[in-house]
Structure 1
Amino acid sequence: MKILIVKLSSLGDVVHTMPAVQDILCAAPNAQIDWVVERGFASLVQRCQGVRRVIASDLRRWRKAPFSHETRRAWGVFKAELQQEHYDAVIDLQGLTKSALVAWLARLSKGGKRYGLANQTEGSSFEAPARWVAHQAISLPAHSHAVTRSRELCAQALHFSLPDDLIFGLVAQRVQVPLVNTEMAHAPGLRGVVALVHGTSRADKQWPLAHWRDLAQRLNEAGFGVVLPHGNPAEQLVARDIAQGLARAQVWPVLPLDVLTDALATCHGVIGVDSGLSHIAVALNLPHVQIYNFDTAWRTGPLAESDHDSCRADFSPPWSTEVDPTKSRYSPRQCSVFAQPTPSVDAVWQAWLGVLSSADDA
Structure 2
Amino acid sequence: MDILIVKLSSLGDVVHAMPAVQDLRAARPGARIDWVVERAFAPLVRRCEGVDRVIPLELRRWRRAPLAPATRQEWRAFRQELQAQAYDAVIDLQGLTKSALVARTARLAEGGRRYALANRTEGSSYEAPTRWIADVAVRVPARSHAVQRSRELCAAALGYELPAQLRYGLHAEPHHNQDVPHRDQGVPDYEQRLPPHDQREPHHHPGEPRPCIAFVHGSSREDKCWPQPHWIELGKKLVAEGFAIGLPHGSDAERRRSEGLAAAIGPHAQVWPRLDLGVLADRLAGCAGVIGVDSGLSHIAVALDLPHVQIYNFDTAWRTGPEVPGVPQGRQRSVYGSPCPSLPAVWEAWRALG
- Give TM-score scaled by structure 1 length: 0.90
Structure 2 residue 271 is matched with structure 1 residue 251: yes
Does the CA-based 8 Å contact 1:230-1:252 persist in structure 2?
yes
Distance of 1:236 and 1:75 partners within structure 2: 33
Aligned residue pairs, count: 334
Three-state SS of the structure 2 residue aligned to 1:307 is coil
Deviation at 1:44, TM superposition (A): 0.5
Does the CA-based 8 Å contact 2:176-2:190 persist in structure 1?
no
Distance of 2:109 and 2:322 partners within structure 1: 37
Q: One-letter code of the match for 2:216? A: V
Aligned residue number for residue 7 of structure 1: 7
Q: 1:339 aligns with which of 337, 340, 346?
A: 337
Aligned residue number for residue 261 of structure 2: 242
Distance of 2:45 and 2:20 partners within structure 1: 13
Aligned residue number for residue 354 of structure 1: 352
Deviation at 1:49, TM superposition (A): 0.4
Distance of 2:88 and 2:301 partners within structure 1: 33
Three-state SS of the structure 1 residue aligned to 2:116 is strand
Deviation at 1:332, TM superposition (A): 3.9
Three-state SS of the structure 1 residue aligned to 2:188 is helix
Structure 2 residue 291 is matched with structure 1 residue 271: yes
Alpha-carbon spacing, 1:354–1:144, altered in 2? closer, same or farther (3 Å):
same
Does the CA-based 8 Å contact 2:190-2:210 persist in structure 1?
no
Q: One-letter code of the match for 1:273? A: V
Three-state SS of the structure 2 residue aligned to 1:149 is helix
CA deviation vs aligned residue, 1:218-257 (integer Å, no higher than 9, x gap) = 1111111101001111111111111114131111111111
Three-state SS of the structure 2 residue aligned to 1:120 is coil
Deviation at 1:178, TM superposition (A): 3.6
Deviation at 1:191, TM superposition (A): 5.3
Three-state SS of the structure 2 residue aligned to 1:4 is strand
Structure 2 residue 189 is matched with structure 1 residue 184: yes
Alpha-carbon spacing, 1:287–1:174, altered in 2? closer, same or farther (3 Å):
closer
Unaligned runs of 5+ in 2: 182-186, 192-203
Structure 2 residue 199 is matched with structure 1 residue 211: no
Does the CA-based 8 Å contact 1:179-1:252 persist in structure 2?
no
Distance of 1:176 and 1:267 partners within structure 2: 8
Q: 1:224 aligns with which of 243, 253, 256?
A: 243
User: How do 1:68-217 residues align onto structure 2 when only pairs under 5 Å count?
Assistant: 68-173=68-173, 175=175, 178=178, 180-181=180-181, 183-185=188-190, 188=205, 192-217=211-236
Does the CA-based 8 Å contact 1:179-1:263 persist in structure 2?
no
Q: 1:303 aligns with which of 323, 335, 341?
A: 323
Deviation at 1:180, TM superposition (A): 4.6
Distance of 2:176 and 2:236 partners within structure 1: 29
Deviation at 1:179, TM superposition (A): 5.9
Distance of 2:38 and 2:167 partners within structure 1: 23
Does the CA-based 8 Å contact 1:3-1:34 persist in structure 2?
yes
Q: 2:307 aligns with which of 287, 310, 314?
A: 287
Does the CA-based 8 Å contact 1:205-1:273 persist in structure 2?
yes
Three-state SS of the structure 2 residue aligned to 1:110 is strand
Does the CA-based 8 Å contact 2:323-2:334 persist in structure 1?
no
Aligned residue number for residue 199 of structure 2: none
Three-state SS of the structure 1 residue aligned to 2:52 is strand
Does the CA-based 8 Å contact 2:88-2:110 persist in structure 1?
yes
Report the more deviating stretch, 72-81 or 236-245.
236-245
Aligned residue number for residue 320 of structure 1: none
CA deviation vs aligned residue, 1:114-139 (integer Å, no higher than 9, x gap) = 00010000111000000000000000
Alpha-carbon spacing, 1:269–1:204, altered in 2? closer, same or farther (3 Å):
same
- Give TM-score scaled by structure 2 length: 0.92
Three-state SS of the structure 1 residue aligned to 2:89 is strand
CA deviation vs aligned residue, 1:83-129 (integer Å, no higher than 9, x gap) = 00110000000000000000001011111000001000011100000
Distance of 1:295 and 1:167 partners within structure 2: 25
Three-state SS of the structure 1 residue aligned to 2:137 is strand
Alpha-carbon spacing, 1:272–1:14, altered in 2? closer, same or farther (3 Å):
same
Deviation at 1:177, TM superposition (A): 8.2
Alpha-carbon spacing, 1:352–1:101, altered in 2? closer, same or farther (3 Å):
same
Distance of 1:162 and 1:220 partners within structure 2: 42
Does the CA-based 8 Å contact 2:95-2:125 persist in structure 1?
yes
Q: One-letter code of the match for 1:185? A: Y
Does the CA-based 8 Å contact 1:220-1:247 persist in structure 2?
no
Distance of 2:179 and 2:138 partners within structure 1: 45
Unaligned runs of 5+ in 1: 310-330, 358-362
Three-state SS of the structure 2 residue aligned to 1:114 is strand
Three-state SS of the structure 2 residue aligned to 1:76 is helix
